[in-house]
Amino acid sequence: MPDAPANHVSDEVERFLVATQEKRLESFRALLRIASISGIPAHAADCRAAAEFVAADLRVVGMEHVEVCETGGHPVVYADWLHAAGKPTVLVYAHYDVQPVDPLDLWESPPFSPVVKDGQMLARGAADDKSHLHMHIRAMEALLATRGALPVNLRVVFEGEEEASSVHLDAWLAANRDRLQADFAVISDTPFFEGNRPAITVGLRGLIYFQLDVTGSNIDLHSGGYGGAVDNPINALCQIVAALKGPDGRITIPGFYDEVVDLTAAEREAFARLGLDDEKYRASLGVPALHGEPGYTTLERIGARPTLDVCGIWGGFEGEGPKTIIPAHAHAKISCRLVADQDSEKIFGLVADQIAKVAPRSIRYSIQRLGDGRPSLTPTDRPTTQAAVRALRATFGVEPLFIRDGGSVPICASFESILGLPTLLLGFAPPDGRFHAPNEWMSMANYETGIRTIVRYWDEVAQLDHL
């Protein structure tokens, strides 16, 4: 546990948190042991098990109306506590599902056998996002155990499909609009800034994700007997991919940047003030050079500019040695990160148009959409944002930064558009926590202090005279 100033939460809450630390760690490990990979159908039962685990935890700590809600996909866990008369109502969001784990051989220890080493909890989902979900329940537990009440009204929405593009969530939110009434939403699924500096994410990128399947001949062909006379699906796929983004990192799809909101001088100054050291950043990633859209800094490229990446590609012979074939098919998984004000439907249309334009007539192809999410921006001067600044400052002892993260939390835009809720992104993951990669980890100092931040935040919000 980190050294924490005695005044950041009340003495009784602090005593409770100190007394329950071991039990808390054991419960966190138990949650991390559940392989709730939402994107792989074979793990559906694990996702349900995680939902049931979380629901049971919420019941035990004293939350009410706890329900594992059917969505048509992996369930949503709902709970509430609504006895803080006259105080704001906050919807709390985190997700219990996790990313796939391959390549498995790069993990130092099995992804679902959590281990703590040097203050790091190593496991798939340790940072993204079971830590945040677990911290919220622990904050509720500490408050309800010590005071018998929460300072604000809370509604909990813990999702199970965030890593699978939240396919069923929008429909569930729309169907449950009435019982989800609140003043604003707190979404906990974001990291601190480089160097583990406390930060509030005020910008998130949107996402489109699709699979491109290219088909040539009906069987793999001998590259000697047929090479030159028929097109090669891998070569064709590479041509298509190369026609989506130029070697300079700029996307070459006509109209792609049309709706992108330009950075203001003030915003560019704010990015510059964050003071990212490009050389340190480059060295930490082990790349020979950073690379991105000309005319923008690294943080601008990540926070304020859209991009296009192939997340996976495969086709033909992957074994050892030479095998001389023209494969029958080739495949790529492609994602675009979007920024305000890009519309995912419109962007997907532009991408599909460009593929149609450049795909050779000598192959067939199909596009399978695997989900998307809208970009989002939060005002820094909002009272609920400033309350978070105070809570972070009080508990971590430093002034938090405002950052625009390159990632996507599709739920953000859904809460805004479907439920009409302003959102605040309050996350505590270490920025180098290897989310989505082997050896994902959570800083246990961030975890412990973050629980105190959440307690303090509810106290701060309870004192706001307007939101």
Residue numbers 157-176 binding a second copy by CB under 8 A: 163-165
Cβ–Cβ < 8 Å for 187, 426: yes
Q: Residue 315 in contact with residue 232, Cβ under 8 Å?
A: no
Pick the binder of a second copy from 2, 110, 249, 383 (CB under 8 A): 249
Q: Where are the alpha helices (DSSP H) in 375-441?
A: 383-396, 410-418
Work out the angle between the directed axes of helices 130-147 and 444-462 (0-180°, nearest 10).
Answer: 50
**Residue at token pair 């990446």:** 309
Question: Of the two residues 89 and 223, which places its CB atom closer to a second copy in the complex?
Answer: 223
Q: Are strands 364-373 and 206-215 parallel, antiparallel or unpaired?
A: antiparallel
d(CA 266, CA 263): 8
* First and final C-alpha spacing in the chain: 33
# residues contacting a second copy (CB under 8 A): 105
CB of 210 vs a second copy, minimal distance in Å: 9
Residue choice 20, 21, 29, 39 for contact with a second copy (CB under 8 A): 39
126 binds a second copy (CB under 8 A): no
Distances (CA, A) of 294 to 244, 248, 304, 310: 16, 7, 13, 20
- Closest distance of CB 94 from a second copy, Å: 17
Name the one residue in this structure whose structure tokens are 């019941």. Answer: 59
2 touches a second copy by CB under 8 A: no
Looking at 73, 88, 198, 327, which residue binds a second copy (CB under 8 A)?
Answer: 327
Quote the Cα angle for 359-361-367, to 5°.
45
Run of H or E including 326: strand 325-326
Binding-site string for a second copy from residue 433 to residue 452, where x marks contact by CB under 8 A and - marks none: -xxxxxx-------------
Rank residues 24 and 245 by Cβ distance to a second copy and give the closer one: 245
Binding residue (CB under 8 A) for a second copy from 1, 18, 19, 230: 230
Among 291, 356, 420, 463, binds a second copy (CB under 8 A): 291
Residue 216 contacts a second copy per CB under 8 A: yes
Among 286, 294, 295, 379, binds a second copy (CB under 8 A): 286
Instruction: Decide if residue 217 touches a second copy (CB under 8 A).
Output: yes
What letter does residue 114 receive in the DSSP assignment? -
State the nearest-atom distance from the C-beta of 297 to a second copy, in Å.
9
How many other CB atoms are found less than 10 A from the CB of residue 218? 8
Residues of this chain, 172-201, that bind a second copy according to CB under 8 A: 191
Question: For a second copy, what does the binding mask look like between residues 307 and 326, x meaning CB under 8 A?
Answer: xxxxxxxxxxxxxxxxxxxx
From 23-31, 37-45, 172-180, 374-382, span contacting a second copy (CB under 8 A): 37-45
Residue in 132, 134, 155, 301 binding a second copy, rule: CB under 8 A: 301
Q: Which of residues 65-124 bind a second copy (CB under 8 A)?
A: 99-100, 102-103, 106
For position 275 contacting a second copy by CB under 8 A, the verdict is: no
In the list 306, 375, 400, 427, the residue contacting a second copy (rule: CB under 8 A) is 306
- Interface segment toward a second copy; rule CB under 8 A; list 64-72, 328-336, 349-357, 451-459: 328-336
Determine, following the binding rule CB under 8 A, whether residue 20 of this chain makes contact with a second copy.
no
Among residues 121, 173, 186, 221, the one that binds a second copy under rule CB under 8 A = 221
Residues 351-410 that bind a second copy (CB under 8 A): 358, 360-364, 370-371, 405-408
Q: Which is nearer to a second copy, 165 or 354 (CB)?
A: 165
* Residues 336, 208 contacting (CB under 8 angstroms): yes
- CA dist 53 and 464 (Å) reads 34
Tell me if 413 sits within 8 A of 406, measured CB to CB.
no
Cβ proximity to a second copy: between 33 and 301 the closer is: 301
CB 377, min distance to a second copy, A: 15
Decide if residue 287 touches a second copy (CB under 8 A): yes
Distance CA 63, CA 56 (A): 10
Minimum CB separation of residue 106 from a second copy in Å reads: 7
Sign, CA dihedral 75-154-396-409, equals positive
* CA–CA gap between residue 297 and residue 276 (Å, rounded): 9
Encoded tokens for 428 = 């505590």
Amino acid type, 186: V
* Residue ranges with strand state E in 227-298: none
Contact range with a second copy by CB under 8 A, out of 13-21, 58-66, 257-265, 427-435 = 427-435
Backbone angles phi, psi at 395, to 5 degrees: -95, -40
